[in-house]
Structure 1
């Protein structure tokens, strides 16, 4: 499984990397602009990300705008439904407007910080992501 982590905070980025690297190969970027570029490159190289984790509050391009652009790339490249990446919004923002916005823009998972890893694993299983129960 290929995973893209877009998080501007170093500590959160390292935490997410440590968690997700148990389940696949992770790339990390520090803003939404880099996330969109990395995603586009992965699609062009025919090795797209299975999971994209986006923080909302990031410099240059926030996570929700990046989410919208990533979905546009998938639509433009005519990626089939079963091959779409799973989008996780992982953020400190927990107000109803941000949650609704994220789901309207196509995220499958909205996680608030601090992250409950047990719940995150449970959600990953529900999404049928290839994760090993022993980790």
Structure 2
């Protein structure tokens, strides 16, 4: 499985990669625009991404904006909602309006930082991303 990890914090990206690398190839991005481009290229090439982790607070484009653009790319590519890529928001942001916005835009789940391996794996199992 290919996994996209988007977070402007290097430590968070590396920690997620360390946890998730046992399940597939992790592709790290420090900002959202390059991740959107990569995801679009993967869709164009008919390659499946198994998971995206996405921070909300990033400098060039917020995680909410990135989430919206990823879901638009999927719709344009003909992907129906039940086949969408799982997207976990992994963030320190506890603003309820942002949580609700992310959920309304189709994020799969919302995990608060600081996170640990047990929490990440439990959420992946809950959503049948891993077994």
Distance (Å, rounded) in 1 between the aligned partners of 2:130 and 2:123: 12
Cross-structure match for 1:101: 101
SS in 2 for 1:85: coil
Cross-structure match for 1:63: 63
TM-score, scaled to structure 1: 0.91
Distance (Å, rounded) in 2 between the aligned partners of 1:120 and 1:6: 15
Cross-structure match for 1:13: 13
* CA deviation string 1:44-78 (max 9, x = no partner): 11112111111111121111100000000111111
Distance (Å, rounded) in 2 between the aligned partners of 1:13 and 1:116: 13
- What is the RMSD of the two structures over their aligned residues, measured on CA atoms? 1.2
Alignment: residue pair count: 131
Unmatched runs of 5 consecutive residues or more in structure 1? none
Distance (Å, rounded) in 2 between the aligned partners of 1:40 and 1:50: 14
* CA deviation string 1:82-133 (max 9, x = no partner): 43100111111012111111101110110110003212211111211134xx
Distance (Å, rounded) in 1 between the aligned partners of 2:82 and 2:97: 28
Distance (Å, rounded) in 2 between the aligned partners of 1:27 and 1:119: 21
CA contact (8 A) 1:39 1:48 kept: no
Q: How does 1:50-129 map to 2 (within 5 A)?
A: 50-129=50-129
Distance (Å, rounded) in 1 between the aligned partners of 2:94 and 2:20: 22
Distance 1:127 1:15, change over 3 A: same
SS in 2 for 1:21: helix
Moved over 4 A (4+): none
Distance (Å, rounded) in 2 between the aligned partners of 1:83 and 1:24: 19
